Structure 1
Amino acid sequence: MSDPTDAADLTIEQLAAEVGMTVRNIRAHQSRGLLDPPEVRGRTGYYGRAHVDRLRLIRDMQADGLNLAAIQKLVGSGGEEFVGFRRALATPFETGGAQIVAGAEVRRLLGVEDIDEATITRAGRLGLFRPLGEDRYEVTSPRLLTAAAEVGAIGLRPEVGLDVLEKLDRHAQAIAKIFVELFLAEIWKPFQRAGMPPEDWPRVRDALERLRPLAGEALLGMFEPAMTVAVEKAAERVVERIARDAEKGR
């Protein structure tokens, strides 16, 4: 690849090779107004860095599934920011990356000698891991698998641990929906109604990125005192039951 500078020094054929497009596609983008005309010297048009950057932006937006009509609208109103926003949107919320582990390690963590097909399907649906073949597994959420292992470590059967995770999954889906709807209602829709002004794209992307730690911290902040109250109430019931049983045994 060449290293184009701000100077217009690329012919259309060289530009096509630089960005991985056909000459025909570049001309089509020009006819749509997506690409500025080249600098003409003699009878030859020359292209520079701005043209390379614009075509790469168009290519990235097409890769994100946008058609040319949508790209034409966005290019004039923060196309570069949209690509950054789209990438932030596609970034998983999980803080721990996926890991590839042997089946023996998965079985050790779950406390089972053999993993039947039903357990694999159920665990996969809950996001614990997925089979890759040859007794290898991709652990999509190491934190969740560690939690499942702890369930086994305190003496509960793997099936019980999966029962707990299924209940938690239902609540997690509802909580995730709360935060998504919050972003859509309070950030995205007002931005969209305003015509998606280019100067507001950084604010929208910043709100999305801040939502990641906010969601986790808010959930943990609500859960900890709720757990304290629940344990205290359960402890009170246990103590009352012991006291009643002791009274009956006199």
Structure 2
Amino acid sequence: MARDEGMTIDQLAHSVGMTVRNVRAHQARGLLAPPTIRGRTGYYGPEHVARLELIKDLQSEGFNLESIRRIVDRTPAGSTAEVLDFTRALTAPFTDEQPQVVSLDELRERWGEQLTPELARRILELGFVRSLGDERFEVLSPRLERGAEELVKLGLPLEAAVEVTGRVGRHVEAVARVYVNLFLEYVWRPFERAGEPEEEWPRVRETLDRLRPLAAEAVLAIFGLTMTREVEQALERELAQLGRPERPQRATARRAGAGRPGSGRPRPGRPRRRPSRRRSSR
């Protein structure tokens, strides 16, 4: 049976990859609208499918059921598909780079003795690598790992390369927050205050899609300008240091010349004590 004509609960569960039990549980929690009853059978349509897909996506992103309920309650009837598309756009990876799953032995082979247990914990804390259990790990950005490899080839210790990458990551997090706040202030909150009109969902989605590459281009352009300026200033300081004449070692000269004949100043000594006069007893 086509979706537009309605699906039974078994067909609905199969179409979204859930069990009938889970579908009924979401209904009991108020996350799914009741079906349309024809005869003695309930039928579900595209809105129910979109709602269940939205619930699945939010759960995969770590939202608990109470948070999902609040999101679902705020979703206008008939807009679930738009909210689902927007949520998927919001949580989609920023790049098409695929994470790489490696074993602990592979990591040790790559980094050798430099990968100490302490440094491994630090890498996990920074979020560059995620533990999957059973000594398997997910390298979230192989490109970032290759960058660390190049730094090590240039002579930097692995620990220094990791710390530099962590510091850069903190700065980039601040930049990302700037653009997220920009989107919230000028796009999302006005849309929310307007009552989240259904016809505005495509514009909000398009703005989000266009903002991502624009933010990346702006960061790259600013970094290029800033890097050029910092290198020039650092080079000027170093060249200025090279051009300065060496200072005479005055203290050494004074020590070498002190006390010599003709030096003009006698070596200072301890003051001589005058002999005390004894009173004669009469």
Residue 177 (structure 1) aligned with residue 177 (structure 2): yes
Structure with bigger helix share is 1
Give the secondary structure class of the aligned counterpart of 2:155.
coil
Residue 161 (structure 1) aligned with residue 161 (structure 2): yes
1:133 offset after TM fit, Å?
Answer: 5.1
Give the secondary structure class of the aligned counterpart of 1:113.
helix
Give deviations 1:145-181, integer Å, cap 9, x for gaps. 1121111111011121122122212211211111111
- In structure 2, the residue matched to 1:60 is 53
Identity of aligned residues (%): 32
2:2 to 4, 12, 27: 4
| Within-5 A mapping of 1:87-166 | 87-103=88-104, 105-107=106-108, 109-110=110-111, 112-113=112-113, 115-132=115-132, 136-166=136-166
Q: 1:34 and 1:75, CA in 2 relative to 1: closer, same or farther beyond 3 A? A: farther
Q: Relative CO higher for 1 or 2, CA cutoff 8 Å, sep ≥ 6?
A: 1
Give the secondary structure class of the aligned counterpart of 1:130.
strand
| Alpha-carbon separation, structure 1, partners of 2:233 and 2:31 | 68
1:236 offset after TM fit, Å?
Answer: 1.3
Give deviations 1:95-147, integer Å, cap 9, x for gaps. 4110013445434554x335222111111222332344565431111121112
| Alpha-carbon separation, structure 2, partners of 1:92 and 1:32 | 27
How many residue pairs align between the two structures?
A: 230
- In structure 1, the residue matched to 2:203 is 203
Q: 1:212 and 1:32, CA in 2 relative to 1: closer, same or farther beyond 3 A? A: closer
Aligned-partner residue type, residue 194 of structure 1 = A
TM-score w.r.t. structure 2 length?
A: 0.70
| Alpha-carbon separation, structure 2, partners of 1:133 and 1:37 | 45
| Alpha-carbon separation, structure 2, partners of 1:136 and 1:37 | 47
Q: 1:243 and 1:190, CA in 2 relative to 1: closer, same or farther beyond 3 A? A: same
Aligned-partner residue type, residue 59 of structure 1 = L
Residue 223 (structure 1) aligned with residue 216 (structure 2): no
- In structure 1, the residue matched to 2:271 is none
1:62 offset after TM fit, Å?
Answer: 3.3
Question: Which consecutive residues of structure 2, in runs of 5 or more, have no partner in the other structure?
Answer: 14-19, 59-64, 249-282
On the 8 A contact 1:74/1:82 being kept in 2, the answer is yes
Residue 18 (structure 1) aligned with residue 19 (structure 2): no
On the 8 A contact 1:191/1:197 being kept in 2, the answer is yes
- RMSD over aligned Cα atoms: 3.2
